[in-house]
Chain A
Amino acid sequence: MVQKEEQVSPFLVFFLIHAIQVGVGILGFQRIVIKSGGNDSWIAVIAAAIIVSAVIFILYTLLNRHQMDIIQIQKKLFGKYIGSLFGLIWIMNWILLTVTVLSSFVEIVEVWVFSTINIYVFAFIFILLTYYCLTGGFRVVAGICVLGTIIPMYLYLTFLFPLEHTHLRNLLPIWNHSIKEMGLATRDMSLSYLGFSSLLMYYPYIKNAKSSQKWAHFGNILTCLIYLFLMVITIGYFSEKQLSHHIWATLSLWKIVELPFVERFEYIGITSWVLMILPNICLLVWAAAEGIGKVVNIKQKKVLLIILLIVYILTIFMSGRERIDMMNNVSAKLGLFLLFVYIPVLSAYSFVWNKLKEKKK
Chain B
Amino acid sequence: MKKIFQLFLLAVIVFLNGCMNIDTQILDEIQLSSATGYDLVDEDQYEVTVVYPVYESGGGVKNKTLTTTDNLSKEVRDKLNLKSEKPLVSGKLEVALYSRELAEKGISLILDSLTRDPSVGSNVMIGVADGSTKEILEQQYGETDNGIFLSDLIEQNMEAGVIPKTNLHLFMYGNYAEGLDPIAPIIGLSEDELTLKAIGLFDSDRLVGHVDEKDFSLLRVLMEHKSKRDSFSLEINDHEKVSISSMGTTLNYKVSNPMEMSDITIHLKIKAYIREYIDGGLKKIKKQQIEKAFEKDIKERGDALVKQFQELGIDPLGVGEEVRTRSRNWDVKKWDDLYPEISIHIVPEVNITETGVLE
Residues of A within 8 A of B (CB): 111-118, 121-122, 124-125, 128-129, 131-132, 135, 165, 167, 169-170, 172-173, 176, 238-242, 245, 252, 255-256, 258, 263-264, 266
Note all chain B residues with C-beta closer than 8 A to A169. 321-322, 325
Interface stretch, picked from B54-62, B175-183, B281-289, B309-317, is B175-183
Further contacts, 15 of them, CB under 8 A, given A125-B17, A128-B9, A132-B13: A117-B20, A121-B20, A135-B6, A173-B327, A176-B330, A238-B173, A239-B176, A239-B178, A239-B180, A240-B177, A242-B172, A242-B173, A256-B122, A258-B121, A263-B121
Q: Which residue of B lies closest to A258 (CB)?
A: B123
A266, B9: Cβ atoms closer than 8 Å:
no
B177, A239: Cβ atoms closer than 8 Å:
yes
Partner of A239, one of B118, B165, B173: B173
Smallest beta-carbon distance B295→chain A, Å: 26
Report the separation of the CA atoms of residues A15 and B321 in the bound assembly, to the nearest whole angstrom.
Answer: 41
B21, A116: Cβ atoms closer than 8 Å:
yes
Partner of A125, one of B13, B118, B322: B13
A165, B169: Cβ atoms closer than 8 Å:
yes
Smallest beta-carbon distance A113→chain B, Å: 8
Q: Which residue of B lies closest to A112 (CB)?
A: B118
- A255 in contact with B169 given A121-B16, A263-B92, A264-B91 (CB within 8 Å): yes
B118, A263: Cβ atoms closer than 8 Å:
no
Smallest beta-carbon distance A68→chain B, Å: 29
In this complex, the interface size class of chain B, counting residues with CB under 8 Å from chain A, is 35 or more
Report the separation of the CA atoms of residues A256 and B13 in the bound assembly, to the nearest whole angstrom.
Answer: 34
Note all chain B residues with C-beta closer than 8 A to A113. 118
Q: Mark B164-192, 1 if CB is under 8 A from A, else 0.
A: 01000110111111101000000000000
A116, B177: Cβ atoms closer than 8 Å:
no
Note all chain A residues with C-beta closer than 8 A to B169. 165, 255-256
B21, A170: Cβ atoms closer than 8 Å:
no
Task: Please tell me if B74 contacts chain A, counting CB pairs below 8 Å.
Answer: no
Note all chain A residues with C-beta closer than 8 A to B9. 128, 131-132, 135
Q: Which residue of A lies closest to B32 (CB)?
A: A263
Note all chain B residues with C-beta closer than 8 A to A252. 122
Q: Which residue of B lies closest to A129 (CB)?
A: B13
Note all chain A residues with C-beta closer than 8 A to B337. none
A118, B173: Cβ atoms closer than 8 Å:
no
Report the separation of the CA atoms of residues A252 and B116 in the bound assembly, to the nearest whole angstrom.
Answer: 10
Note all chain B residues with C-beta closer than 8 A to A135. 2, 6, 9
Note all chain B residues with C-beta closer than 8 A to A118. 19-21
Q: Which residue of B lies closest to A251 (CB)?
A: B118
Task: Please tell me if B214 contacts chain A, counting CB pairs below 8 Å.
Answer: no
Q: How many A-B residue pairs have CB under 8 A?
A: 95
B325, A114: Cβ atoms closer than 8 Å:
no
A121, B177: Cβ atoms closer than 8 Å:
no
Q: Mark B17-28, 1 if CB is under 8 A from A, else 0.
A: 101111100000
Report the separation of the CA atoms of residues A132 and B115 in the bound assembly, to the nearest whole angstrom.
Answer: 39
Residues of B within 8 A of A (CB): 2, 6, 9-10, 12-13, 16-17, 19-23, 91-92, 115, 118-123, 165, 169-170, 172-178, 180, 321-322, 325-328, 330
Note all chain B residues with C-beta closer than 8 A to A239. 173-174, 176-178, 180
Report the separation of the CA atoms of residues A258 and B93 in the bound assembly, to the nearest whole angstrom.
Answer: 13
Smallest beta-carbon distance A258→chain B, Å: 6
Note all chain B residues with C-beta closer than 8 A to A132. 6, 9-10, 13
Note all chain A residues with C-beta closer than 8 A to B21. 116-118, 121
Note all chain B residues with C-beta closer than 8 A to A117. 20-22
Q: Which residue of A lies closest to B328 (CB)?
A: A176
- A111 in contact with B118 given A116-B22, A117-B20 (CB within 8 Å): yes
B123, A128: Cβ atoms closer than 8 Å:
no
B325, A256: Cβ atoms closer than 8 Å:
no
Note all chain B residues with C-beta closer than 8 A to A263. 91-92, 121
Note all chain B residues with C-beta closer than 8 A to A131. 9
* Sample of 15 A–B contacts (CB below 8 Å): A116-B21, A116-B23, A117-B22, A125-B20, A135-B9, A165-B165, A172-B326, A173-B325, A173-B328, A239-B173, A239-B174, A255-B122, A256-B169, A263-B121, A264-B119
- A264 in contact with B121 given A132-B9, A241-B178 (CB within 8 Å): yes
Nearest first, the 8 A-B pairs at minimum CB distance are A242-B176, A239-B177, A172-B325, A241-B176, A118-B21, A255-B122, A256-B122, A112-B118
Note all chain B residues with C-beta closer than 8 A to A255. 120-123, 169
Note all chain B residues with C-beta closer than 8 A to A176. 328, 330
Q: Which residue of B lies closest to A111 (CB)?
A: B118
B22, A114: Cβ atoms closer than 8 Å:
yes
Report the separation of the CA atoms of residues A94 and B246 in the bound assembly, to the nearest whole angstrom.
Answer: 60
Note all chain A residues with C-beta closer than 8 A to B16. 121, 124-125, 128
Note all chain A residues with C-beta closer than 8 A to B20. 114, 117-118, 121-122, 125
Q: Taking each of B2, B6, B19, which has the highest tally of chain A beta carbons within 10 Å of its own beta carbon? A: B19
Note all chain A residues with C-beta closer than 8 A to B170. 165
Report the separation of the CA atoms of residues A118 and B19 in the bound assembly, to the nearest whole angstrom.
Answer: 8
Report the separation of the CA atoms of residues A188 and B146 in the bound assembly, to the nearest whole angstrom.
Answer: 47
Note all chain A residues with C-beta closer than 8 A to B122. 252, 255-256
Note all chain B residues with C-beta closer than 8 A to A167. 321
Smallest beta-carbon distance A38→chain B, Å: 10
Report the separation of the CA atoms of residues A238 and B172 in the bound assembly, to the nearest whole angstrom.
Answer: 9
B119, A128: Cβ atoms closer than 8 Å:
no
Report the separation of the CA atoms of residues A125 and B12 in the bound assembly, to the nearest whole angstrom.
Answer: 8
Smallest beta-carbon distance B82→chain A, Å: 21
Note all chain A residues with C-beta closer than 8 A to B23. 114-116
A128, B12: Cβ atoms closer than 8 Å:
yes
Report the separation of the CA atoms of residues A242 and B182 in the bound assembly, to the nearest whole angstrom.
Answer: 13
Smallest beta-carbon distance A179→chain B, Å: 15
Report the separation of the CA atoms of residues A113 and B119 in the bound assembly, to the nearest whole angstrom.
Answer: 8
Report the separation of the CA atoms of residues A131 and B10 in the bound assembly, to the nearest whole angstrom.
Answer: 10
Smallest beta-carbon distance A307→chain B, Å: 17
Smallest beta-carbon distance A1→chain B, Å: 24
Report the separation of the CA atoms of residues A132 and B3 in the bound assembly, to the nearest whole angstrom.
Answer: 11
Report the separation of the CA atoms of residues A238 and B173 in the bound assembly, to the nearest whole angstrom.
Answer: 6
A170, B121: Cβ atoms closer than 8 Å:
no
Report the separation of the CA atoms of residues A118 and B17 in the bound assembly, to the nearest whole angstrom.
Answer: 10
B121, A256: Cβ atoms closer than 8 Å:
yes
Q: Which residue of A lies closest to B21 (CB)?
A: A118
Note all chain A residues with C-beta closer than 8 A to B10. 132
Report the separation of the CA atoms of residues A187 and B16 in the bound assembly, to the nearest whole angstrom.
Answer: 40
Note all chain B residues with C-beta closer than 8 A to A258. 121, 123
Q: Which residue of B lies closest to A265 (CB)?
A: B121
